[in-house]
Amino acid sequence: MDDKSPKTDSLYSSQLLQTLDYSNAVTSPAKLATNLVLRPLQSDDYNRGFLDLLSQLTKVGTIDENKFQERFHQMKSNGNYYITVVEDVDTSRVICSATLFTEYKFIHSAAMRGRIEDVVVDSEYRGQRLGHLIIETLKLMAQSLDCYKLTLDCRDEMIEWYTKLGFIAIPTRSNMLTIRFTD
Amino acid sequence: MDDKSPKTDSLYSSQLLQTLDYSNAVTSPAKLATNLVLRPLQSDDYNRGFLDLLSQLTKVGTIDENKFQERFHQMKSNGNYYITVVEDVDTSRVICSATLFTEYKFIHSAAMRGRIEDVVVDSEYRGQRLGHLIIETLKLMAQSLDCYKLTLDCRDEMIEWYTKLGFIAIPTRSNMLTIRFTD
């Protein structure tokens, strides 16, 4: 042990991932190439290209390491954020990420609603079913965390892909409306 | 002061409501009937029919007062829940409620996304623009809390109503997909 090594925090306990049963899932971590590791987001992923990866999804803007750490620890102390990533340990880069978060409800016997957000696979790693793996993982986690339902919003062209993973557009009640305050 | 009176907690600081500028909104708290008060959810609203009101929206199930208090304090310590209600002080009943909650992001310069959930007006109080008031209030709060956007999901028949309040269905990207784990 080197006491001077910086402490690495996981956003959530990686034990949660170990307990998931993928037997009914379309893929599993056992099928990952040996250089790829599925794990929670870590506090040192700023240096593994996590924000570069998100910039393949949408606008990220300027986030220095302090701001990253502050947001990471807000999410961690909040306790409802389960950002899950795949790292290529050969290159030390985060190459796939998706967020599960859980929302407290009073309805449904004071239940939790799960939400999937910010799903991205590095363009150089597409076609390897990493998207399937991360969504199956978040589905199993949401169920394990006792969510009564799990939702996401998506573009038209992704509906078919998510439908194959078990999501449905419930007729007459699958609309997402938006007000944008800033770009 | 009676030291024996039970302590009433607000879910969030009511000062936040005092700072809102309704000058561009379709209605405002100033237009409320004198027996109606707009305020944050309180820890004693269990006894003002808050759960009965929610049962006009969806399944509430069994929630005893301990469970209500536990969930209330989870939301309060979480710090991202802004359940806002209208009370009829003549009857001591909560007769309108909606939830704003704010989600931490890394994208958009580590922004916040606001979400509106669980909007309900007591059937005996409809037609008084209380729905308009509560949605305008949550819009102003989301902006005041620096959310980069505010979203909600709704049934087809509510799209026109929300559109009049400024929400839009962004073409090709306004789908909400669901997996239900339990009823």
Say if the Cβ atoms of A178 and B175 lie within 8 Å: no
Give the pLDDT confidence of A3-20 residue by residue, as tens digits: 555 689 999 999 999 999
Cβ within 8 Å, pair A155-B149: no
Write out chain A residues lying below 8 Å of B62, CB-based.
109
Q: How far is B104 from chain A (nearest CA, A)?
A: 7
Structural domains of chain B ordered from first start: 15-164 (3.40.630.30)
Residue of A11, A14, A10, A20 lying closest to A138 (CA atoms)? A20
**Is ipTM strictly over 0.90?**
yes
Within 8 A by CB and 6+ apart from A141, the residues are A16, A17, A20, A82, A84, A100, A114
Q: How many beta carbons lie within 10 A of that of residue B94, not counting itself?
A: 25
Identify any residues that bridge with A115 across adjacent strands, giving them in sequence order.
Answer: A101, A151
- Is there a contact between B126 and A124 (Cβ–Cβ < 8 Å)? no
In this complex, do A181 and B149 lie within 8 Å of one another by their Cβ atoms?
Answer: yes
**In Å, how far is B91's CA from the nearest CA of chain A?**
23
C-alpha to C-alpha distance for B72 and B115, rounded to whole angstroms:
18
Q: Is A153 close to B170, i.e. CB distance below 8 A?
A: no
pLDDT in tens, A91-136: 999 999 999 999 999 999 999 999 999 999 999 999 999 999 999 9
Q: Which of B78, B103, B156 sits opposite A175 (nearest CB)?
A: B156
- Identify residue A6 by its one-letter amino acid code: P
Tens place of pLDDT for every residue, chain B, 183 residues?
455 556 899 999 999 999 999 999 999 999 999 999 999 999 999 999 999 999 999 999 999 999 999 999 999 999 999 999 999 999 999 999 999 999 999 999 999 999 999 999 999 999 999 999 999 999 999 999 999 999 999 999 999 999 999 999 999 999 999 999 987
Do A168 and B178 lie within an 8 Å CB cutoff? Answer: yes
B176, B180, B182, B183: best mutation site toward chain A, by most A Cβ within 10 Å? B176
State residue A143's pLDDT score: 96
Nearest-by-Cβ selection for A60 from B54, B107, B147: B107
Contacts of B167 (CB under 8 A, 6+ apart): A177, A178, A179, B152
B152/chain A closest Cα distance in angstroms = 5
Which chain A residues are Cβ-neighbours of B54 within 8 angstroms? 106-107
- Its sign, for the CA torsion A170, B117, B110, A6, is negative
- Burial tier of A3 (Cβ tally within 10 Å: 0-12, 13-18, 19+): exposed
Taking an 8 Å cut-off on Cβ atoms, the answer to whether A176 and B169 are in contact is yes
Any idea what the Cα angle at residue A156 is, between residues B181 and B138, rounded to 5°?
Answer: 70
Q: B181 and A157 in contact by Cβ < 8 A?
A: no
Nearest to B154 among A107, A175, A183 (CB): A175
Q: Which structure tokens are listed for A156?
A: 């038209």
Q: Rounded to whole angstroms, how far apart are CA atoms A49 and A44?
A: 10
Q: Which of A42, A106, A167 to mutate to test the interface with B (most CBs of B within 10 A)?
A: A106
Beta-carbon neighbour count of residue A180 at 10 Å? 12
Contact yes or no for A147/A111 (Cβ under 8 A)? yes
Please answer yes or no on whether A61 and B109 come within 8 Å at the CB atom. Answer: yes
